[in-house]
Structure 1
Amino acid sequence: MSSSRIPSGSTIPFTPKPRKRTSSSRLGFTDKELREFAGTLASVRKVRPGAILEELEQSGEGSQLLGRQDGPSRTVRTDPAQRPSSGRTSDRLPQPPRPSSSSSRHRERDKEPARPSSSSSSRPPILVASSSRPSEASEAQSWKTRNSKLPERHAEPESIPVVVPDLMGGDEEEQASRLLDGVPLEVQEAWICEDLLFVLQGVEGSLIRYDDGYDPLDEDQRSRGARWKIDSSLDSSLLSLVERLLPLASFFTAVEASMESRNIPEYGMVGHALISGIRAMLKEYRVLTAQLESLFLSSPTFTLQTLYFHLHPTLHTMSLLASLCLSLENEESGPDGSDVSDDDDGLGGMAEELGLGGAGLKGLMKNLKAQEGLIGGGGPVVGGEVLGIICEREATMSGDPTASTLHSTLLLHAAQPYCNMLVKWISTGYLSDPFDEFMVKESGHITKGVLESDYTDEYWERRYTLRDGSSLTSTKGSAAKAAPSLSAAVPPPRSGTGRLPGGACIPAFLQPWKHKILLAGKYLNVIKECGIEVRKPGEVDEDKEGMVVINEPKFYKRIEEAYIYANRTLLKLMIEEQELIPHLRSMKHFFFLDQSDFVTNFLDLAASELRKPAKGASLVKLQSLLDLAVRNPASSSSNDPYKDDLKVVLQSQGLYDWLLKIVSKSGSLTEDGELDFAIGEGHEEDVASKKSEKERALLAIDALAFDYSVKFPLSLVISRKTITRYQLIFRFLLHLHHLESALSAMWLEQKTPQWRTHCGNEDMEKWKMRIFSLRARMLAFVRQVLAFATGEVLEPNWRALEGKMAKVQTVDQLLRDHVDFLDTCLKQCMLTTSKLLEIYAKLMKTISVFVSYQTSLNTALSKFLADPAAESDLVKASLRWTALSKFEINFNHHTKLHLDAVTYNAGSENVALLALVTRLHQTTLRI
């Protein structure tokens, strides 16, 4: 092949040279004629082909040069009516008519009959040559002379061998497969460039068609991008560049399909905002392709490499967009990466045979499974999950500047609806989330009225919750590993990724702020419930700068300021206007028995009623006696301003039975959820429990408890759970007070002459001395435990709480300090450890039974004094000593176990018990 001659000063883009052909393939064309044809084709990019054809036809030369029909006189014409209507092709080589869309193309393919193979409108015009034309060279020279105004093309190679097949006959499929055989390389390049401009918009061309296995009507295939098939006769030197550009068309069709499928209301406002951002990027892509089309039509030096040079950067961007859309689709698919099959009708594929089939049933089963979380773990990707996926991809591709810019731009667009919801929530407490996209969920059926009517529900914890189920208490210590709180119905995570679906997925950049976001809106809603005006949703200042960047320090500062404002307002309302601290002091006096004079007076007045079974005691009478004892002018409680809020209640279970049941079920009393069980079980009969021995009836004194009523918003701090903790401590102290009073009364009774006078029987005197000793040891033990609980547990912890409340800065901190104070008191009073509680309960039961046995002891002594000889019988003496020995053995055994357990816990878990260990050791040595 001879070398190309290029005029000096001209530039030519690199185009691979065509492969060398034999001279026999020229079909009679000379090198000069072929150069003339190539130059004429090069000028087509500047001058409309239609004008040239008209001029040639008027001169009579075009029909002889451009083609022939069935011999030397056959001519190939282009029907203008069948040219594509697009502006791109009106000034280019005529093309076969293209349908407006891929779906219409497939429909027309099935409906239209096969076109005649000789129709010129189904093929672009091709130079056809024959050796039977002796005057071709002169005609070509005359054409060039007449059209000398056309722009000159750079010099071409000396010889361009061309093989031009006859396309006017044979099967259409066969013709299409060899459409470019013999067409010069430059014509192929122009043709393929024009096809690419169509394909880059998702429309088939003449040389680039949809792959045979691709169905544009299949939504699943469209979401993964179109697959293309290139004409097999395209020169291999152009094929590589075309194959590099075709993925861009596939990515574009995938993005468009995803936008179409997600453009429905169920994808929420965040999803639609993301589509808006993608649409803005596709608009820039379309502008780019329009500019390239203009360059293609106007520049004679435009080549396939020029097209590739301008589109190569866009290829990476479009691949990122397609990858993002595909990841959103994959999140919604099943565990195996595909949606639920349409054949799955819920009846093993037998629905149609049973007469129950049809698309309606399949759609219904698919919706039901989606609602149950069986498809992808939670339905469509909406709200916070969309933002979470974008953030994850941005973090994963942080080393790629293009990907970082793309994802940050899309995040900015998609986050605007989410940002608007967040700003309204933290600024006004108003929550508008129709598609469940926001991190905060509202339970509208829970109102402030349930704090009085429902004993187990709480406005503060369950009215507004985080969709991911997290809470401030569950993020501390070992509780962070516990299951989410039942206060929020947490959806199951997505299959494969473990990411929570929808609004339950909180974006990573908002994770550190989620609790402040929740509390800011909570505080404002509490303030509104109290009748205090806050800003309305329409009064929120709109951002004058346009879109808000939600993941920057400026926005975080806005969240912090809203949280501080709401927090300070509510804290001031509770402490100053609602007098929270005086209420807490009153509860401490009543429940911790600081004003023990009123308790002693009440126990004396209600002694006869408290000795009755709990089911037979009159609650009204007990309440009247309590009011009388509290309002007694001689009592220090008469001056308490909140004495009217104190109520009497009777529990259905004994304190230690209740606590042992709770601890045996949950292992502790201070973890989340365990006190819920305590509240529920403490007020319901346990009919399922079966015991071998019949339980004795619960006495009113063992079931007695106090209740305290407060109004909203103080009921958020003095809630049902906190009142339950107060009741546990009160019943513990009341039991100790009752045993101390009973043992003291027993001591007074044993100071009577019949107990103090020497009866003359040494055995009886020893028996009485052993009873005195056992009573004294029991009384000392009870007093030491009571002194430890009041003096070294409750009082120091209360002083610490008062110090914290004087410095508290947040409502949430106030709530935590109050609950921590009560939990610490419960733990140091040995009410939360199963081992200590079990031993202590047995020890208290032994003392209670011994106190109740005082009547039997008096009877035995009276009988002995009445008839010493008869009562000195060995059998009766043995019975007296056996009963006493059982009390001594039980008390000594459990006292030793209790001391060992307290000593162990004091050295390992509960250091505060060291004071009790010291007290018990001193009591043992002294006795």
Structure 2
Amino acid sequence: MATPYTPLRPASRATRRHKNLGLSAKQLNKVTSTIASARRGLREAHGQHDDEDDDDLREEERDEIEREEAATAGPSRWAGAETSFAAEPSFLQAPLNSRVPPPPAFDSPTANTKGKYRDETQDATNLKGLSLELQEAMVLEDLLYVMLGIEGMLIRYSPESPHVDDPLAGAVFLCNDTLDPSIRDLIMRLLPIATHYTALQAFIAAKSIEGCGFVNHALCGALRSVLQEHITLVTRLENAFLSTPRPGEPGLTLHSLMPHLEPSARTLALLYTLTSSLLLDPASAGSSSSDEESDVDSEEERRNAELGLGGIGNVIKGLGGDPEEEGEVLGGEVIAIVWDCMRRMAGDPLTPALLNPLLARLSTPYARTLLVWAECGLLTDPDNEFFVRSQPYLAPSFLERDYTDEYWDRRYTLRDGTPTEPGQKEKMTTGVPLPRANTGRLPGGACVPEFLDRWKRKVLLAGKYVNVIRECGRDVGTRREDWEGGMDCEPFYKRIEDAYQHANRTLLMLLVEDQQLIPRLRSLKRYFFLSQSGFFSHFLDLSMSDLKKPSRTVSLPKLQALLEVAMNLPDEGVGGFREDVKLTMAREGLYDWLLKVVAVSGDLGSIGGSAVHSEKDKEKDSKDKKDRLIAMDALTLDYAVTFPLSLVISRKTLLRYQLLFRFLLHLKVTEHALLGMWTDQLQPVWRSLPLVEASEHEAWRRRVFNLRARMLAFVQQVMAYATTEVLEPNWRKLEASLDKVSTVDQLLKDHVDFLDTCLKECMLTSSKLLKVYSRLLLTCSTFANYSSNFSKWAAKGEQDMQKRWEFFQKFEANYNHSFQVCMDCLQFYASSENTALLSLVVRLGNNGARSQGS
């Protein structure tokens, strides 16, 4: 392939005349005019103003030029030159530098050879002995080119300039060593402008490509405008340099150049500082080198997801993948850096005047993305610049299969992991990128600008609500991209608030009026809290024989049929939505499961996340433990809801309802067993009078009656406390708040707060209370299970009294000890954390007093 050659200009007399200096025709004309001006000034000082002398002087100059041309006659230094573009790095970086003669041929274009060539060129251009005016005239033209990043003859690239390997660092220039120190000092003060200009040009070239994001592209557009102003300034200065000054006015000099370039120098320096902060350190940039290796896998996964071939694996990967790589500085991080820079340098008058328009311009695409999301629910973010993240693997159809309702919780989230749902207390860590090591700032779109931090939750919820409305077939309006300017202003905040309020009102009306939310919640209370109907007591009577079997052997369809029979009995007042109630079997006992959850999360505030850990733990349980779990302890209710009601009655809230149901069911079953024991003790074998009233058999029988009555009173008091002093009052508060609620966000919060309050006041959130309370109830239920044994011993009269007493006293001692420990715990928590327990302490106090009296 032929090598392209540098276009050559015809040799001129000025070039041949000054080949030793290497001056161009333009430089020669300038130098000649300067010399002529100096001679005229000298003659004027001596009073020589006659035209004849001027004509003689011009004739002498022409003769001198012709003599020098004849002496230097021969082949042109440009003739036959075959130096290509590749041999001239300065031409490749600055095509306008064709005025610079090509370097002599050399063997290899290494860094050392380039430096050697530059040193030889500088040595060849020896300016010693020339006047200051002549040196200034010669270097001034070079300086104007250098201001645009083009090296000249007297101002060249430094051998140590990093711009060849790292263009973003900018080119470093050096002056000719033979320049006068005073001129060189002035030049050195202006050379940083060239360095900053070349660095900004390289930054624009690097950040204008695809993948750098809309914000970086807008920033590059703003930087181009600033650099264009700088180019216009240099062009005007060059025009002034080439123009003949008017009589009595000095031409362009280095001293007169300084005031013109000072504003541009400050502007470029500020922009250079800003863009330097937007560049990654080499160490941190290397951490993202594995991105290219995973491009093929990511593309394949994306294609499989679009074709529906990924299955549940893609969903799990989308939900619990590794944290994102740091990546490039883009999106919200760029805006945050510019905002921080503007605040740090607020004392400089130039900073607000320059950075305010710059921030407004680069914020425009980000603001449009935000408004389109908040107002229309559309998220167009190909480069992950926005702080809202979408999981494309999740869809509304996934709700029917997924237990944890990941569509609402995971489909749209905040990239920084900020909790947005009611009941969430800790930040999410799954999929959240790590902060940058050098600044501690989250990378890319995960970085939320400071002035948007208090609005990010409303922005997320507004877009989510609009998506729900659209998926229900409602019109959400048209897309608007009419925003121009920055985001830190009241009109922009007002649009966010208006979008949030509009989405809230529309979705709330959809849920309450179209989806019958309030009747649904009332049916949940009726079924799960075992109130206002006796259908579940009939169900227990019908299915007690099956419920005493191991949970793995029981027939769920049979139990479901018995439940429907009990619900269809007359005068039960069950109400509607009964077809949505289903029976299920848990894999673990209530108190064992709750103790695991509290041990993992500390409380039940993040019950949804703890449920995931519990599901994993369930798989590790031994088979023997599952075999020991009877159906009565594993029985629970489920409730079928469809989208969008599943946003309010989600799997997390249903899990809370199920915990309360199993708590009440345990009390109900224990009460049922103790009442059955009381029925057995009404038989003649227990009521026949002994021959001697003070006999040991009669004392034993009375102690059994007393212990059974105390246990029944304890269970009934706890049941009455849970239903009349916890569930009913809190339900009335929820109904009152539902009548006044104006936003979906507040509705979700009130609903979850109601359930969490009920769980706390029912002693299901404290591990200490759970242990002592569950032990006490276990003692009561076990005692009731031995009712037939006590009846057999009662029929034997005075036989085996020692064995009876030993067996009975174990129950009595265990109950008395557990009851006293439970009372101590209740009194402690009632006085320190949960004052609602005071009423339960008072209720159980009489039971404890009777036990001491007995």
Same fold (TM over 0.5): yes
2:794 matches 1:849? no
Question: Which residue of structure 2 lines up, in the alignment, with residue 525 of structure 1?
Answer: 467
The alpha-carbon distance between structure 1 residues 268 and 696, as it changes in their structure 2 partners (threshold 3 A), is: closer
Report if aligned partners of 2:419, 2:427 keep a CA contact under 8 Å in 1.
no
Cα offset, 1:595, TM superposition:
2.6
Instruction: Provide the TM-score with structure 2 as the length reference.
Output: 0.83
Question: Which residue of structure 2 lines up, in the alignment, with residue 549 of structure 1?
Answer: 486
Q: 1:646 aligns with which of 581, 585, 594?
A: 581
Report if aligned partners of 2:827, 2:841 keep a CA contact under 8 Å in 1.
yes
The alpha-carbon distance between structure 1 residues 858 and 35, as it changes in their structure 2 partners (threshold 3 A), is: closer
Cα offset, 1:282, TM superposition:
0.6
Q: Write the distance in 1 (CA, Å) between the matches of 2:37 and 2:611.
A: 97
Q: Write the distance in 2 (CA, Å) between the matches of 1:375 and 1:459.
A: 20
The one-letter code matched in structure 1 to 2:345 is: M
Which region of structure 1 is more displaced relative to structure 2, 651-660 or 519-528? 651-660
Cα offset, 1:756, TM superposition:
1.4
Q: 1:188 aligns with which of 117, 135, 150?
A: 135
Can you list the C-alpha shifts for 1:799-830, whole angstroms capped at 9, x where unaligned? 11111111111101100110110011001000
Question: Which residue of structure 2 lines up, in the alignment, with residue 273 of structure 1?
Answer: 218
Q: Write the distance in 2 (CA, Å) between the matches of 1:577 and 1:826.
A: 30
Question: Which residue of structure 1 lines up, in the alignment, with residue 120 of structure 2?
Answer: 173
Question: Which residue of structure 2 lines up, in the alignment, with residue 464 of structure 1?
Answer: 412
Instruction: Give the 5 Å matches for 1:330-345.
Output: 330=280, 333-335=282-284, 339=286
Q: Write the distance in 1 (CA, Å) between the matches of 2:210 and 2:177.
A: 45
Question: Which residue of structure 2 lines up, in the alignment, with residue 430 of structure 1?
Answer: 378
Q: 2:819 aligns with which of 895, 909, 913?
A: 895
Can you list the C-alpha shifts for 1:292-331, whole angstroms capped at 9, x where unaligned? 111122234321111111001111110111112211113x
Question: Which residue of structure 1 lines up, in the alignment, with residue 268 of structure 2?
Answer: 318
Report if aligned partners of 1:328, 1:381 keep a CA contact under 8 Å in 2.
yes
Question: Which residue of structure 2 lines up, in the alignment, with residue 885 of structure 1?
Answer: 809
Can you list the C-alpha shifts for 1:853-897, whole angstroms capped at 9, x where unaligned? 1111112222x14xx5xx2xxxx3221111101101110000000
The alpha-carbon distance between structure 1 residues 41 and 185, as it changes in their structure 2 partners (threshold 3 A), is: farther
Question: Which residue of structure 2 lines up, in the alignment, with residue 328 of structure 1?
Answer: 278
Q: 2:146 aligns with which of 187, 190, 199?
A: 199
Question: Which residue of structure 2 lines up, in the alignment, with residue 484 of structure 1?
Answer: 428
Report if aligned partners of 1:387, 1:411 keep a CA contact under 8 Å in 2.
yes
Q: Write the distance in 1 (CA, Å) between the matches of 2:130 and 2:67.
A: 14
Can you list the C-alpha shifts for 1:7-57, whole angstroms capped at 9, x where unaligned? xxxxxxxxxxxxxxxxxxxxxxxxxxx9967246999xxxxxxxxxxx999
Report if aligned partners of 1:41, 1:187 keep a CA contact under 8 Å in 2.
no
Secondary structure of 1:647 counterpart:
strand
The alpha-carbon distance between structure 1 residues 683 and 80, as it changes in their structure 2 partners (threshold 3 A), is: closer
Secondary structure of 1:449 counterpart:
helix
The one-letter code matched in structure 2 to 1:113 is: A
Cα offset, 1:63, TM superposition:
4.3
User: Percent identity among equivalent residues?
Assistant: 44
The one-letter code matched in structure 2 to 1:580 is: L
Q: CA RMSD in A?
A: 3.5
Q: Write the distance in 2 (CA, Å) between the matches of 1:679 and 1:565.
A: 35
Q: 2:660 aligns with which of 725, 729, 746?
A: 729
Q: Write the distance in 1 (CA, Å) between the matches of 2:843 and 2:78.
A: 110
Instruction: Give the 5 Å matches for 1:770-781.
Output: 770-781=703-714
Instruction: Give the 5 Å matches for 1:16-415.
Output: 38-39=38-39, 59=59, 61-64=61-64, 99=91, 101=93, 112-113=104-105, 173=120, 176=123, 179-214=126-161, 216-218=163-165, 220=166, 222-298=167-243, 299=245, 300-330=250-280, 333-335=282-284, 339=286, 364=293, 378-415=326-363
2:435 matches 1:501? no
Q: Write the distance in 2 (CA, Å) between the matches of 1:716 and 1:774.
A: 47
The one-letter code matched in structure 1 to 2:130 is: V
Q: Write the distance in 2 (CA, Å) between the matches of 1:63 and 1:464.
A: 85
Q: Write the distance in 1 (CA, Å) between the matches of 2:63 and 2:553.
A: 120
Report if aligned partners of 1:651, 1:683 keep a CA contact under 8 Å in 2.
no
Report if aligned partners of 1:251, 1:322 keep a CA contact under 8 Å in 2.
yes
Q: 1:747 aligns with which of 673, 678, 694?
A: 678
Q: 2:835 aligns with which of 911, 922, 926?
A: 911
Instruction: Provide the TM-score with structure 1 as the length reference.
Output: 0.77
Q: Write the distance in 2 (CA, Å) between the matches of 1:190 and 1:590.
A: 97
The alpha-carbon distance between structure 1 residues 601 and 616, as it changes in their structure 2 partners (threshold 3 A), is: same
Q: Write the distance in 1 (CA, Å) between the matches of 2:260 and 2:600.
A: 70
Which region of structure 1 is more displaced relative to structure 2, 442-451 or 223-232? 442-451
Q: Write the distance in 1 (CA, Å) between the matches of 2:324 and 2:517.
A: 48
Q: Write the distance in 2 (CA, Å) between the matches of 1:839 and 1:580.
A: 38
Question: Which residue of structure 2 lines up, in the alignment, with residue 627 of structure 1?
Answer: 564
Q: Write the distance in 2 (CA, Å) between the matches of 1:38 and 1:625.
A: 118
Question: Which residue of structure 1 lines up, in the alignment, with residue 313 of structure 2?
Answer: none
Can you list the C-alpha shifts for 1:902-922, whole angstroms capped at 9, x where unaligned? 100011111111111111112
Question: Which residue of structure 2 lines up, in the alignment, with residue 358 of structure 1?
Answer: none
Secondary structure of 1:707 counterpart:
strand
Cα offset, 1:405, TM superposition:
2.3
Cα offset, 1:212, TM superposition:
1.5
Can you list the C-alpha shifts for 1:151-193, whole angstroms capped at 9, x where unaligned? xxxxxxxxxxxxxxxxxxxx99287366211111111112221
Secondary structure of 1:232 counterpart:
coil
Report if aligned partners of 2:469, 2:507 keep a CA contact under 8 Å in 1.
yes
Report if aligned partners of 1:188, 1:234 keep a CA contact under 8 Å in 2.
yes
Question: Which residue of structure 2 lines up, in the alignment, with residue 665 of structure 1?
Answer: 600
Q: Write the distance in 1 (CA, Å) between the matches of 2:296 and 2:541.
A: 67
Aligned length: 762
Cα offset, 1:59, TM superposition:
3.9
2:762 matches 1:829? yes
Report if aligned partners of 2:333, 2:444 keep a CA contact under 8 Å in 1.
yes
Secondary structure of 2:638 counterpart:
strand
Q: Write the distance in 2 (CA, Å) between the matches of 1:262 and 1:367.
A: 24
Secondary structure of 2:159 counterpart:
coil
Q: 2:723 aligns with which of 765, 782, 790?
A: 790
The one-letter code matched in structure 2 to 1:461 is: D
2:696 matches 1:763? yes
Secondary structure of 2:174 counterpart:
strand
The alpha-carbon distance between structure 1 residues 749 and 780, as it changes in their structure 2 partners (threshold 3 A), is: same
Larger Rg: 1
The alpha-carbon distance between structure 1 residues 264 and 757, as it changes in their structure 2 partners (threshold 3 A), is: same
The alpha-carbon distance between structure 1 residues 682 and 610, as it changes in their structure 2 partners (threshold 3 A), is: farther
Q: Write the distance in 2 (CA, Å) between the matches of 1:42 and 1:256.
A: 46
The one-letter code matched in structure 2 to 1:323 is: T
2:634 matches 1:703? yes
Cα offset, 1:426, TM superposition:
1.3
Q: Write the distance in 1 (CA, Å) between the matches of 2:636 and 2:122.
A: 98
The one-letter code matched in structure 2 to 1:197 is: L
Structure 2 unaligned blocks of 5 or more: 1-33, 44-54, 80-87, 108-117, 299-320
The alpha-carbon distance between structure 1 residues 37 and 590, as it changes in their structure 2 partners (threshold 3 A), is: closer
Secondary structure of 1:266 counterpart:
coil
The alpha-carbon distance between structure 1 residues 66 and 440, as it changes in their structure 2 partners (threshold 3 A), is: farther
The one-letter code matched in structure 1 to 2:594 is: L
The one-letter code matched in structure 1 to 2:474 is: I
Q: Write the distance in 1 (CA, Å) between the matches of 2:627 and 2:337.
A: 62
Report if aligned partners of 1:493, 1:499 keep a CA contact under 8 Å in 2.
yes
Q: Write the distance in 2 (CA, Å) between the matches of 1:722 and 1:175.
A: 80
Can you list the C-alpha shifts for 1:683-726, whole angstroms capped at 9, x where unaligned? 974434699xx787222111111111111111100000100100
The one-letter code matched in structure 1 to 2:669 is: H
